[in-house]
Structure 1
Amino acid sequence: MDKFGGLKHLFVTIFMSQLAIFVVTPAMPDVTMMLLCPAQDECSLAIYLSGFQQAIVGIGLVVMMPIIGNLSDVYGRKALLTVPLTLAIIPPVILAYRRTKKFYYVYYVLRTLTGMICDGGIQCVALAYVADHMSQAKRASAIGILAGVGSAAFVCGTLADHFLSTSQIFLVATIASTIAVVYMQIFLEDTARVEEYPIEEQPILRNNEMEDTELDCETAKNIKVFNRVPSLKDIIFFLRKSHTFSLAASVAFLNSFAEGGEQAPFQYFLKARFHFKKDNFADVMLIANICSATSQLLLMPMLAPLIGEEVLLCLGLITGFTNLLIDSIARKIWIPYTAALLPISTSLVKPSIQSIVSKQIGPSEQGIAQGCISSISSIANILSPFLYSPLTALFLSEKPPFRYPGFSILCVGLAWLIAVIPSAMIKVITLVSRQ
């Protein structure tokens, strides 16, 4: 970890912020049911509110991620990281103070609004910060460790949830979020801003502006790249200008499409097929995330320099398909637990994509590029439930088109299998080699 010493304060900040999120997540269904539908086993209102929140946050992320990434390019990573970290403190404070129906609705509204910035903004700016501090040779390893820190926070948060009361859970979340902000302000060093980079290190959007205007070199150096709200035209220019970036974006879309289908539909499948309960889901999630943390913290730093992110990307996608193929035909309850070990490879997909993207983009464009990828992924997360939820309900019903309860889960895996095609076409050409 010594070679990533410059990032250790970022890793601590991200761990505390993610811990605050994941310690609350397992408790929210019970808290929601208790406040909105007391003494009831089912609550349609809770389901609809949860789905509506997910959709609104997803739409907000599509719009906000490129903007946040762009602003971090212009005003610095630390300044923009402060915004989502500070906003994340507000929602848990509400339920830490009091848990009544009125306070829940206040929490719900604030969590929805802050989620549009916090749910993707922290990760987006953190990725750009890593790209600022690490050479291209070490960047994949550092991004893998950043992802592993998030997985480790999930494991710790889920375990802590078993030992804390409801009031303590929200108090711990508030304290952890506050520590993340204070620690970052004291220890985290800021990075260079757009105007501090040489013009030759601003390859894509900077060149786009230069094509549209005739400026001398001295004047061009004083222009802030992308110093405005990003437009769809600018995002399309990213996709058109870099073939590798467009391929990575397509893989990111399909990966998020599969991840979205792997959430609620997969849980309903396990519940219907094997009568899973809360503890069963928690055990499977813990196994998967322990494997993910191990893989991202240890395997990716070792393998990425040897075989490359593009190979890890293909391997992770194939493993993801294999995982869900096994689950879809499973007949014994132990099989999903065993298949949960496979994310040791699947968890490398997202950091591999992020590393590939970072190597195609200049220092002044890291934030906006990662924001674009996050935005594209958010679109997939919004669309995915519209396909997989009805499909899952259909094949778990009493009159399916044909007898295959896990067919929808197989279809989720097919998104990963299809993603192998563009991922196999990716050939990482670093910025240095293009100049």
Structure 2
Amino acid sequence: MVLKECVRGLKELRPLTHLLLPLCFHWIAEAMTVSVLVDVVTSALCPGQTTCTEAIYISGLQQTVVGIFKMVVLPLLGQLADEYGRKPLLLITVSTSIFPFAVLAWNQSRESVYVYYVLRTISFIISQGSIFCIAVAYAADIIEEGNRAAAFSWITGFFSASHVLGNLLARFLPEKYIFVVSIVLLIFGPVYMHFFLAETVEWVPKMDRDSTFLTKITNVAHKRYESMRDAAAIVFKSPTLRGISFVLFFYELGMSGISSVLLFYLKAVFGFNKNQYSEILSMVGIGAIFSQILVLPLLNPLVGEGWILSLALLASIAYGLLYGLAWASWVPYLSASFGAIYILVKPATYAVISKGSSSMNQGKTQGFVAGVKSIASLLSPLAMSPLTSWFLSSAAPFDCKGFSIIVASVSMMIALCFACLLKPDEKLSHDPEDEIEAPLLRES
């Protein structure tokens, strides 16, 4: 039965080969840098120290700025992907990571780290979240609705597999080669897409040659506003899309808060370095591959996306609480094991959103809901950065160094409450007149 589902999943993914291959190289390249970045940043900003308050605050500031701009950029990119095609938007988003890592490959001084943060912030604004949204919309264009949950799970499974490979490379490659190899892989992605990725959206240009430049700018701004308003109407009129927006808001509020401070917390409390980070991230990735490629495709036809989502949220709560209460260096490894389950939040929510929207609005709805998530990602570091620094310092009111992570877990409990109220099978009927300007999907 398991083998049969695997073969079926691979057949479903065959049309996505030219999408997934470059994305896997892109994800490997980004994952390679995660475990070494903490050491590089800490060494540059706080030489000779294990705790770097400046790095924690800069990381939190970066996440806040990214969240502010992503509220607008993510829905906008989703709309543009529906109107002008998936391929050009993917080429733009996957190319942005090249420049910040090129800076660190060239120099790792204090000034270079600041330049890296500026460029990486711009890169995150354009690419963080949008790559998945556009990739999911691309998959929805060519895969039948009944098979999308399994396909989305395979896509996120490849994402996890890429992270495992990236972490293994980071574990065994000398530090001085990590950024160089990463840049080579990051360049490969957009080059491959340019030559081999087929477009799934047919763009019909409008004849407005006689319009003035100012008129064109005004029309573009008005069109973007109307498209944003339509996306909001689609989401808020649908009980399913509205409910999943609340789930993702509170889940992201907690999980992004944890991820923004976790590595600095582990370094300060347990003295973790690149090797321990790679081990933990690889452990999460290996479990995530198994759960996304085998478990979700088997369970989804039996219990549905809603049940899987609730189970994954329960695991994310346990993940956060164990990190926050960690009393020994082995506890973070135990906590990381729950990553194999909470990782299912992502494919389950993609499937719920895809089912709750029409085939013509996949990019628009995925992008809008991702924009809602970005609001949470900008709010969480405002509390997590100072709270983490406070409880890691000697001025903490009581001895609980992971108190901020425990607080973040409460937000994920609220997300679970909203998930329990979801009815993923509900679908809002769409008026065809509202979709006159929607893109024409090519028959696959």
Deviates more, 1:373-382 or 1:244-253: 373-382
Deviates more, 1:8-17 or 1:47-56: 47-56
Pairing partner for 1:300 from 264, 273, 296 = 296
Residue number in structure 1 paired with 2:31: 22
Report the RMSD for the aligned CA atoms in angstroms. Answer: 3.0
C-alpha distance in structure 2 between counterparts of 1:104 and 1:398, whole Å: 28
Q: What's the CA shift for 1:94?
A: 3.6
Residue number in structure 2 paired with 1:351: 347
Structure 1 residue 240 corresponds to structure 2 residue 236? yes
Pairing partner for 1:54 from 63, 73, 80 = 63
1:413 to 1:51, Cα distance in 2 relative to 1, 3 A: closer
C-alpha distance in structure 1 between counterparts of 2:260 and 2:391, whole Å: 15
Residue number in structure 2 paired with 1:154: 163
Q: Deviation string for 1:30-64 (max 9, x for gaps)?
A: 33345556566665554444333332222222221
Consecutive unaligned residues in structure 1, runs of 5 or more? 197-223
Q: What's the CA shift for 1:279?
A: 3.4
Contact 1:252 1:350 in 2 (8 A): no
Contact 1:137 1:305 in 2 (8 A): no
- Normalised to the residue count of structure 1, the TM-score between the two structures is 0.83
**Equivalence map 1:23-102=2 (5 Å):** 23-35=32-44, 45-99=54-108
For the residue of structure 2 that corresponds to 1:308, the secondary structure is helix
Consecutive unaligned residues in structure 2, runs of 5 or more? 1-9, 206-219, 432-444
1:194 to 1:366, Cα distance in 2 relative to 1, 3 A: farther
Residue number in structure 1 paired with 2:5: none
1:19 to 1:89, Cα distance in 2 relative to 1, 3 A: same
Amino acid corresponding to residue 374 of structure 2 in structure 1: S
Q: What's the CA shift for 1:290?
A: 1.9
Structure 1 residue 164 corresponds to structure 2 residue 173? yes
Pairing partner for 1:368 from 364, 367, 375 = 364
Q: What's the CA shift for 1:89?
A: 2.7
C-alpha distance in structure 2 between counterparts of 1:99 and 1:386, whole Å: 27
Structure 1 residue 289 corresponds to structure 2 residue 298? no
Residue number in structure 1 paired with 2:19: 10
1:420 to 1:37, Cα distance in 2 relative to 1, 3 A: closer
Pairing partner for 1:422 from 397, 400, 418 = 418
Q: What's the CA shift for 1:413?
A: 1.9
Pairing partner for 2:120 from 88, 111, 124 = 111
C-alpha distance in structure 1 between counterparts of 2:179 and 2:404, whole Å: 36
**Equivalence map 1:201-280=2 (5 Å):** 227-229=223-225, 233-267=229-263, 270=266, 274-280=270-276
1:267 to 1:100, Cα distance in 2 relative to 1, 3 A: closer
Pairing partner for 2:141 from 132, 136, 145 = 132
Q: What's the CA shift for 1:390?
A: 4.0
C-alpha distance in structure 1 between counterparts of 2:242 and 2:353, whole Å: 9
Contact 1:73 1:193 in 2 (8 A): no
C-alpha distance in structure 2 between counterparts of 1:194 and 1:242, whole Å: 28
Deviates more, 1:13-22 or 1:335-344: 335-344
Contact 1:65 1:372 in 2 (8 A): yes
Q: What's the CA shift for 1:273?
A: 5.4
Deviates more, 1:396-405 or 1:424-433: 396-405
Q: What's the CA shift for 1:129?
A: 0.6
- Normalised to the residue count of structure 2, the TM-score between the two structures is 0.81
For the residue of structure 2 that corresponds to 1:368, the secondary structure is helix
Amino acid corresponding to residue 351 of structure 2 in structure 1: S
Contact 2:60 2:381 in 1 (8 A): no
1:166 to 1:133, Cα distance in 2 relative to 1, 3 A: same
Contact 2:63 2:381 in 1 (8 A): no
Residue number in structure 1 paired with 2:196: 187
C-alpha distance in structure 2 between counterparts of 1:75 and 1:150, whole Å: 26
Amino acid corresponding to residue 172 of structure 1 in structure 2: V
Amino acid corresponding to residue 368 of structure 2 in structure 1: C
Q: What's the CA shift for 1:394?
A: 5.0
Residue number in structure 2 paired with 1:377: 373
C-alpha distance in structure 2 between counterparts of 1:139 and 1:12, whole Å: 19
C-alpha distance in structure 1 between counterparts of 2:329 and 2:104, whole Å: 37
C-alpha distance in structure 1 between counterparts of 2:112 and 2:271, whole Å: 34
Structure 1 residue 325 corresponds to structure 2 residue 328? no
C-alpha distance in structure 2 between counterparts of 1:276 and 1:86, whole Å: 31
Contact 2:309 2:344 in 1 (8 A): yes
Residue number in structure 1 paired with 2:441: none
Amino acid corresponding to residue 173 of structure 1 in structure 2: S
Identity of aligned residues (%): 34
C-alpha distance in structure 2 between counterparts of 1:280 and 1:14, whole Å: 26
Residue number in structure 1 paired with 2:182: 173
Pairing partner for 1:145 from 146, 151, 154 = 154
Amino acid corresponding to residue 378 of structure 1 in structure 2: S
Contact 2:66 2:378 in 1 (8 A): no
1:355 to 1:97, Cα distance in 2 relative to 1, 3 A: same
C-alpha distance in structure 1 between counterparts of 2:139 and 2:418, whole Å: 26
C-alpha distance in structure 2 between counterparts of 1:100 and 1:387, whole Å: 29
Q: What's the CA shift for 1:295?
A: 1.3
Amino acid corresponding to residue 354 of structure 2 in structure 1: S
Contact 2:60 2:385 in 1 (8 A): no
Contact 2:67 2:376 in 1 (8 A): no
Contact 1:17 1:176 in 2 (8 A): yes
Q: What's the CA shift for 1:171?
A: 2.0
Contact 1:16 1:176 in 2 (8 A): yes
Amino acid corresponding to residue 77 of structure 2 in structure 1: I
Contact 2:253 2:411 in 1 (8 A): yes
Q: What's the CA shift for 1:95?
A: 3.6
Contact 1:67 1:230 in 2 (8 A): no
Contact 2:56 2:389 in 1 (8 A): no
Amino acid corresponding to residue 255 of structure 2 in structure 1: E
Residue number in structure 2 paired with 1:342: 338
Aligned length: 407
